[in-house]
């Protein structure tokens, strides 16, 4: 990723930094100046890339290892246990039965996560499936999207799911019977109230942090973000201790939740947090959320609004208040990442950023629009003029691409969904992301999405002008994301003087079929010179 | 074990600057022993009188009069879960919604949770900014939804608006929501019994306490005795007052037994009551309501109004 030296065979590391990148011929000169180096050939047949940077994820990803993984792909738990991918609903049920048979406290709710119905097209999971696991305690299976959960009849009865008029959040079959799927916020609320467990509690414990880092590490990530955290007083201290530990395998950038305090107090709190910055932990940015989600019909869309005629979505903050916050942070020199999904919201966010910049000019503010999924070429041109960057939610193309074509936007507007090609063509600084745990955290998968623009239903979104090349996608998950976090001087490329953050891959992404990009195995990572290997990868 | 009665949920909606915080503050000072939990968008904007605050911890402020405030942050669901885990549970939950919230979506929580019931959505309409809000290119739909969801419309900042403007606004709101009562709220000063106890959810339990509190709000207050006439007749009389009466309640008796009579959210309802009927009745209304002597006359005699 260093344009002066795009390919090399050897890399030397000293004191957590890159001493040099080159060939076998450089070893002597490195040793002459710096003393003997240990020669490690373990990765001689591997491909080394700059460590991946996940510019929009959430620490909550780390919380789920308290529950049981039932996803489609093999996944290594934070303790090194490999959880094999489950390839059918029957396999998921069998796994849950095995867990129920062996766990100690059989009356407590049994919660599993990572279930992804996208892979099971013949039928959907239902309450009877989970009744076969247990009938006298709650059995809950969280979908990977975190917008749906399956439950057994124990939960349905407690929630009175069969009785009331609740079609919005309980899926029903053709005969009008509830199937056991709880949908959306209200569905989750019902399931949580009846089981008494808070499935989505604020994740903040050091264990959660370590779990999160390990999940990210397995996918080649060396720097990740917790892209919104209210950081209550004193919470930075345990966080700093956890992240600074040598065996903590990742750098972490925490975005302060801007509206958790009044603008002036929020500025003061961010400045206070920045005193706790270290090599591995950064409180450099602020997050503001301006609208909802497209698939939840809570994003703000420009006319003609939603394709299926649903009413326009929600503002999550008054535009006037957004402006107040942007002004305060811009004045104080604090970079803001604004969540905008719909195109109306993107436009209003740009209006407000412009308003803030007219009051407080700042040449390199680098305020960034996060998700920004429906931006038009006109929006990208304006972002370029204003110096605003974008971090697109490319994983959406796969997970919700079909829904956007058929339900939310229609094919014409869905063609420009997460238009990475458009952003680059208009000269906008680009990163791409997973929003984990909303979708799977795996930068190579995110890159695959941006390169191929393939939906889970097998449809290609757009006409080719929106796709980016593999090189451009790799740049987006390294230097692109580093730039969006103002860390491009430290990480994002392999060159002398930068931090020794490396992703170790089983294959060269530039040599495999673009459609195989997501299948490249991640052998491990190096973070600041420390190697972290995945179990059982080749 | 009997199931506890569901907790009433009131939602205060209205645009930024429409006076939601003033109203909430005023309600909290009138709590009068009720354990109210208020959910607010952020603490910064809620300038709670310092002498009301008993303790502060995390995202909660405990008030000396039995109220607790929690900040919503970005996650209403999480806040609801936390509130419903409180012991003891509050007597009433008030949500100060964000200026851009859709109150009907918030009301969804009460619809799905058997331990909650929607008491009412109170939407504040800023008299001075109404035209701006109604025509905002990005917010007009939101503004309309807030008015459409209301069970009570409170016109705020009336003191910053002229009579002609106020009359036009009242007429416009009347056209949009003919069945919904309106009242003015200057600096949030509205009696708690006008705002809470709207019983938007028909299945509400009987309220047996007559309204309390000082009535220094530009509203008039009548308390008197109602003759034991057949309830249909009493309802007919009360209906004649409906355009100007905002809230009424009392425990009455006729040949069919004791019952609670409510006027709330523009609706009159009755519920059987297991206990003694006092015949005491209280009405809060606008100044246009007939005066005390007229009301006395109306309710103490058999003659129709």
* A8, part of any domain: no
Last residue of a domain, one of A195, A229, A254: A195
| Residue A329, min C-alpha distance to chain B (Å) | 17
CB A522 within 8 A of CB A444: yes
Is A248 in the same domain as A390? yes
Q: What is the mean pLDDT of residues A108-134?
A: 90
Tell me the CA distances in angstroms from B50 to A232, B29, B61, B64, B146, one per residue in order: 22, 12, 11, 10, 31
Is A391 in the same domain as A474? yes
CB A430 within 8 A of CB A424: yes
Among all residues of chain B, which has the CA nearest to that of A348?
A: B138
* A200, part of any domain: no
Which of A193, A200, A321 faces B16 most closely, judged by CB atoms? A321
Is A457 in the same domain as A384? yes
Which of B44, B73, B111 faces A265 most closely, judged by CB atoms? B44
| ipTM reported for the complex surpasses 0.85 | no
Is B149 in the same domain as B264? no
CB B61 within 8 A of CB B67: no
Is B154 in the same domain as B52? yes
Is B164 in the same domain as B30? yes
Last residue of a domain, one of B146, B179, B195: B195
CATH of the domain at A455: 3.20.20.140
Q: Does A314 touch chain B (CB under 8 A)?
A: yes
* A59, part of any domain: no
Range of the domain at B26: 7-195
Residue B213: per-residue pLDDT: 39
Is A435 in the same domain as A296? yes
A319 and B139: CB-CB below 8 Å? yes
**Phi-psi sector, A536: left (phi>0), alpha (psi -120 to 50), beta:** left
CATH of the domain at B143: 3.40.50.300
* A471, part of any domain: yes
* B230, part of any domain: yes
* B35, part of any domain: yes
Is B162 in the same domain as B244? no
Quote the number of domains for chain B: 2
Chain B residues in contact with A235 (beta carbon < 8 A)? none
Percent of chain A surpassing pLDDT 70: 97
* B207, part of any domain: no
Residue B305: per-residue pLDDT: 39
* B188, part of any domain: yes
Is B44 in the same domain as B189? yes
CATH of the domain at A81: 3.10.310.70
Instruction: State the Cα–Cα distance between residues A119 and B94, nearest whole angstrom.
Output: 43
- Whole-prediction pTM: 0.86
Last residue of a domain, one of B195, B229, B244: B195
Is A251 in the same domain as A123? no
Residues 6 or more apart whose Cβ sits within 8 Å of residue B240 = B298, B305
Q: What is the mean pLDDT of residues A511-524?
A: 96
Per-residue pLDDT 10s for chain B (305 aa) are 456 789 999 999 999 889 998 899 889 888 888 889 998 876 655 666 666 677 777 677 788 777 777 777 667 888 888 888 888 899 999 999 989 999 998 998 888 888 899 999 999 999 999 999 999 999 999 999 999 999 999 999 988 889 999 999 999 999 999 989 999 888 888 889 889 988 876 533 333 333 433 444 567 778 888 888 888 888 888 888 877 888 888 888 888 888 888 887 778 888 888 777 777 888 888 778 888 888 888 887 654 43
| Residue B34, min C-alpha distance to chain A (Å) | 24
Stronger pLDDT, A502 or B200, i.e. the higher one: A502
Is A214 in the same domain as A136? no
A193 and B98: CB-CB below 8 Å? no
SS3 content of chain A, % helix, strand, coil (to 5): 35, 20, 45
Instruction: State the Cα–Cα distance between residues A299 and A313, nearest whole angstrom.
Output: 5
* A28, part of any domain: no
B15 and A318: CB-CB below 8 Å? yes
Residue A204: per-residue pLDDT: 67
- What pLDDT digit, counting tens, does each position of A431-470 carry? 999 999 888 899 999 999 999 999 988 999 999 999 999 9
Is A187 in the same domain as A248? no
Residue position matching structure tokens 């952003």: A423
Instruction: State the Cα–Cα distance between residues A232 and B58, nearest whole angstrom.
Output: 7
Range of the domain at A223: 206-488
CA atoms within 13 A on the CB side of A432: 32
* A233, part of any domain: yes
Q: How many CB atoms lie within 10 A of CB A474?
A: 24
Q: What is the mean pLDDT of residues A267-283?
A: 97
Residue B33: per-residue pLDDT: 81
Q: What's the DSSP call for residue B36?
A: E
Quote the number of domains for chain A: 2
């Amino acid at each position: 990723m260093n344009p002066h030296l795009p390919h090399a065979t050897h890399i030397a590391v000293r004191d957590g930094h890159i001493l040099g990148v080159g060939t076998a011929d450089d070893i002597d000169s490195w040793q002459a100046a710096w003393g003997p180096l240990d020669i490690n050939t373990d990765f001689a047949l591997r491909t080394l890339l700059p460590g991946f940077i996940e510019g929009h994820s959430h620490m909550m990803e780390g919380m789920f290892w308290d529950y049981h993984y039932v996803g489609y792909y093999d996944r290594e738990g934070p303790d090194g246990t490999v959880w094999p991918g489950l390839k059918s609903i029957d396999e998921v049920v069998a796994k849950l039965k095995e867990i129920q048979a062996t766990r100690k406290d059989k009356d407590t709710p049994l919660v599993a996560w990572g279930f992804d119905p996208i892979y099971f097209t013949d039928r959907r999971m239902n309450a009877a499936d989970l009744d076969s696991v247990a009938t006298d305690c709650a059995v809950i299976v969280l979908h990977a999207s975190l917008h749906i959960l399956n439950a057994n009849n124990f939960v349905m009865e407690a929630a009175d799911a069969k009785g009331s008029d609740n079609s919005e959040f309980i899926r029903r079959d053709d005969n009008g019977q509830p199937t056991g799927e709880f949908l959306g916020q209200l569905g989750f609320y019902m399931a949580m109230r009846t089981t008494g467990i808070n499935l989505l509690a604020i994740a903040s414990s050091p264990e959660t942090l370590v779990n999160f880092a390990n999940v990210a590490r397995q996918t080649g990530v060396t720097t990740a973000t917790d892209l919104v955290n209210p950081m209550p007083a004193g919470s930075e201290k345990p966080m700093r201790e956890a992240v600074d530990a040598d065996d903590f395998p990742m750098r972490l950038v925490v975005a302060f939740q801007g509206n958790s305090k009044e603008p002036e107090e929020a500025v003061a709190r961010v400045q206070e947090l920045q005193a706790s910055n270290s090599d591995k932990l950064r409180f450099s940015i602020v997050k503001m959320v301006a609208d909802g989600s497209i698939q939840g019909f809570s994003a703000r869309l420009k006319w003609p609004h939603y394709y299926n005629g649903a009413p326009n979505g929600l503002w999550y903050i008054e535009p006037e208040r957004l402006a107040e916050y942007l002004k305060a942070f811009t004045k104080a020199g604090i970079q803001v990442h604004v969540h905008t999904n719909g195109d109306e919201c993107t436009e209003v966010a740009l209006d407000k950023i412009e308003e803030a910049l007219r009051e407080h000019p700042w040449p390199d503010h680098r305020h960034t629009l996060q998700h920004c999924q429906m931006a038009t070429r006109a929006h990208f041109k304006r972002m370029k003029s204003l110096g605003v960057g974008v971090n697109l939610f490319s994983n959406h193309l796969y997970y919700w691409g079909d829904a956007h074509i058929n339900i939310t936007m229609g094919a014409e507007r869905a063609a420009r969904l997460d238009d990475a090609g458009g952003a680059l063509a208009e000269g906008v600084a680009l990163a791409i992301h997973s929003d984990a745990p909303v979708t799977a955290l795996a930068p190579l998968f995110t890159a695959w999405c941006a390169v191929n623009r393939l939906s889970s239903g097998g449809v290609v979104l757009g006409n080719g002008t929106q796709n980016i090349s593999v090189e451009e996608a790799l740049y987006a998950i390294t230097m692109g994301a580093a730039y969006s976090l103002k860390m491009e001087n430290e990480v994002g490329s392999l060159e002398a003087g930068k931090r020794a953050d490396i992703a170790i891959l089983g294959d060269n992404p530039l040599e495999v079929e673009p459609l195989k990009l997501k299948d490249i195995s991640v052998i491990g990572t190096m973070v600041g010179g420390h190697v972290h290997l995945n179990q059982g990868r080749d | 074990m009997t199931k506890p009665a569901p907790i009433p949920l009131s939602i205060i909606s209205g645009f930024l600057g429409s006076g939601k915080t003033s109203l909430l503050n005023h309600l909290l000072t009138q709590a009068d022993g009720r354990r109210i939990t208020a959910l607010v968008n952020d603490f910064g904007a809620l300038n709670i009188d310092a002498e009301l605050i008993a303790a502060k911890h995390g995202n909660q402020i405990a008030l000396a009069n039995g109220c607790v405030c929690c900040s919503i942050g970005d996650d209403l669901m999480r806040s609801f879960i936390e509130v419903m885990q409180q012991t003891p549970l509050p007597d009433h939950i008030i949500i100060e919604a964000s200026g851009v919230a859709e109150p009907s979506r918030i009301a969804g929580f009460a619809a799905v949770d058997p331990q909650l019931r929607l008491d009412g959505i109170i939407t504040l309409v800023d008299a001075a900014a109404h035209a701006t809000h109604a025509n905002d290119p990005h917010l007009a739909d939101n503004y309309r939804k807030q008015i459409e969801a209301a069970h009570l419309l409170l016109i705020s900042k009336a003191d910053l608006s002229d009579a002609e403007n106020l009359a036009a606004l009242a007429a416009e709101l009347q056209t949009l929501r003919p069945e919904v009562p309106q009242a003015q709220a200057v600096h949030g000063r509205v009696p708690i019994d006008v705002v809470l106890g709207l019983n938007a959810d028909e299945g509400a339990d009987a309220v047996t306490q007559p309204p309390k509190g000082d009535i220094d709000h530009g509203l008039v207050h009548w308390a008197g005795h109602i003759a034991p006439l057949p309830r249909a007749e009493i309802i007919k009389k009360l209906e004649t007052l409906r355009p100007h009466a905002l809230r009424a309640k009392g425990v009455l008796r006729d040949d069919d037994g004791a019952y609670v009579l409510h006027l709330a959210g523009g609706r009159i309802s009755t519920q059987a009551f297991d206990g003694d009927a006092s015949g005491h009745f209280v009405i809060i209304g606008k100044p246009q309501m007939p005066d005390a002597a007229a009301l006395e006359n109306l309710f103490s005699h058999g003659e129709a109004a």
